[in-house]
Structures are given as C-alpha cells and as structure tokens.
Amino acid sequence: MSRFFRLISVPALAALVCIVAFIQPVPVSAASLADVIESVRPAIVGVGTSYPPRQPIGDRRPDSLRGTGFVVGNGQLIVTNYHVLPELLDHDNQQMLAVFSGRGRQARVHPAEIAAQDPVHDLAVLRITGSPLPTLTLGDSDGVREGDAVAFTGFPIGGVLGLYPVTHRGMVSAITPVARTADAARDLNAVQLQRMRNPFDVFQLDATAYPGNSGSPVYDPATGKVIGVVNSVFVKESRESVLERPSGISYVIPVTWVHQLLDRIAP
C-alpha cells in the first residue's frame, strides 16, 4: 500500500471519493428533435404576394405563397431564395411582395421589401416593419461534414394545406460543386452561366424537398442552428413530375453566403 493510503483513514478516504464523484461533469442531454422543431417553427414564414385586404369583394384576388423563408437578426429580416421572388408585380391592382407569419387561421400578412439579393447564390433578404417576429440563429457551415444529420422546415406544397410548416430530416450525403438544374442548354441564363464559371460548394441531402421548400432553413436537429438554405431539387424527368416522383436529392446553399449577404445590409 502506498504511503498516501497508509496515512489517510478509511472514513476520510470514503469522503474523498464522494467529493471526486460530485465534481465530475454531468452529461448534458441534447434537446429532442420535437423540442427543436417547436422552437424553430415560429420563425418559419411563407414568402409570396398579396393584394390590399380592403379591395371590393368582387375585385379581391387571392394571396399567393411562392416559397418559404425564415426570420433572422432583429426579427424584421427574412432569408429566402432569390428565385422565390416574383419577377413582376401587378402594380395596377396594388399587388405587393408579402411575408406570411403565424400558423393556420392565425396567419398574418406583412408587406415586405427587398433589403438585399444575391442571384448567383440564389439568396435574398426581405425586410418587414412592425413588431419583430421570432428569429433563428445562424450557425457555421464551414464545419459541416458528410454524414451530419440535418432537418429542414417549410411549406413543401405551398399553401395547399394552409400555413402549416412541415419538417423533414436527413443527412448531408455529399458536399459538391453547385449543379446546373436547367433542363436543357436553351434554359441557361446569365446567373447559371456565372455559376458554371465560378462554381461553389453546396450540400447535397438525402432528404426529399419539394418546390415549396425553396428558402427553407436547414438546421442542426440538436441545436436548431441554421447551416444552410434549401435551394433546389434534382429533377429526374420534368419539373412537373417532382411532386409525383421526387428524386430524393436536394441541394442546400451553405449559410456562409447568408452571413455575407446580411453584412451588406445597413443596420
């Protein structure tokens, strides 16, 4: 027996063991996915167009949900895809860019304006006024690895079911240069040509996204921190077949480009 244990009494040794056990770090259990979804969901919004609510009933036109967005920063900034934005608005009838918040019958319409846009990375930031909305925290996409678990929440089939966000989960199956999604060479535009000349890496997921998921936040299912934005879905046949026969391959823009876009917005 060592000199230390010859000098210490049995009761003192027992007390020492209890103290050591007490100071050992206690593992912190990660939040369940259900808890994370509950915290993420209030910051998920729809992006589309709307008409003034005071139009005469006979002239009233329906709102249009074009994609998904999520709230960041001061609660008045919304991140979405650039391609979700309408090319033209019906100014004659006061059609406006709009953000839809809330859930189900509690949905509200917020007039929006474009605060910043990045067509090359298919990103846009909108600004609304009024009371701030719940926000999400942006993470760091540089540390994302193939095999990491992810989840994303949005409106996969638009407003067919009303404003009820849907969550999908999967993993990062590959990190690859951005793919060209045009169906044929005649569909190429200036932005796609620039992507081909200056490709950047995107995350490929094994989870199925749909057209309405464009702009959905992709996040760590343990923390809710956003690591990317759903950008597009690989289409095997025609664009019309994506709902009936989805490929199960989705592409995500890393959040590093969102950080850079937000840095361009004046406080």
Q: Which pLDDT belongs to residue 108? A: 92
Percent of the chain with pLDDT over 70: 72
Q: Which pLDDT belongs to residue 234? A: 46
Percent of the chain with pLDDT over 90: 55
Q: Which pLDDT belongs to residue 216? A: 97
> Residues 244-260: pLDDT tens digits?
444 457 899 999 999 99
Of 41-50, 145-154, 182-191, the poorest mean pLDDT is in: 182-191
**What is the Cα Rg of the chain in Å?**
24
Among residues 264, 212, 226, the alpha carbon closest in space to that of 43 is found at: 226
Mean pLDDT of 157-171: 87
Instruction: Give the helix ranges, DSSP H, for the chain.
Output: 3-7, 10-23, 33-40, 190-197, 256-263
Which residue did the predictor score with more confidence, 202 or 31? Answer: 202
Q: Which pLDDT belongs to residue 14? A: 46
Q: Which pLDDT belongs to residue 10? A: 44
**Average model confidence (pLDDT) for the chain?**
80
Q: Which pLDDT belongs to residue 191? A: 56
Q: Which pLDDT belongs to residue 210? A: 86
Q: Which pLDDT belongs to residue 233? A: 61
Please give the structure tokens belonging to residue 49. Answer: 């167009």
3-state helix vs strand vs coil in the chain, percent to 5 = 25, 30, 40
Which residue did the predictor score with more confidence, 29 or 146? Answer: 146
> Residues 55-106: pLDDT tens digits?
655 555 778 899 999 999 999 999 999 999 998 998 888 899 999 999 887 8
Mean pLDDT of 212-239: 83
CATH domain 141-255 topology: Thrombin, subunit H (2.40.10)
Mean pLDDT of 221-227: 97
> Residues 201-220: pLDDT tens digits?
999 999 888 889 999 999 99
- What does the buried/exposed string (b/e) look like for 66-89 if buried means 16 or more CB atoms within 10 Å of the residue's CB? bbbbbbbbeebbbbbbbbbbeeee
The residue ranges of every structural domain in the chain are 33-128, 141-255
Fold: same for 33-128 and 141-255: yes
Residue 169: pLDDT above 50? yes
Q: Which pLDDT belongs to residue 258? A: 97
Cα angle 130, 136, 137 (rounded to 5 degrees) comes to 125
Of 22-26, 108-112, 171-175, the poorest mean pLDDT is in: 22-26
- CATH no. of 33-128: 2.40.10.10
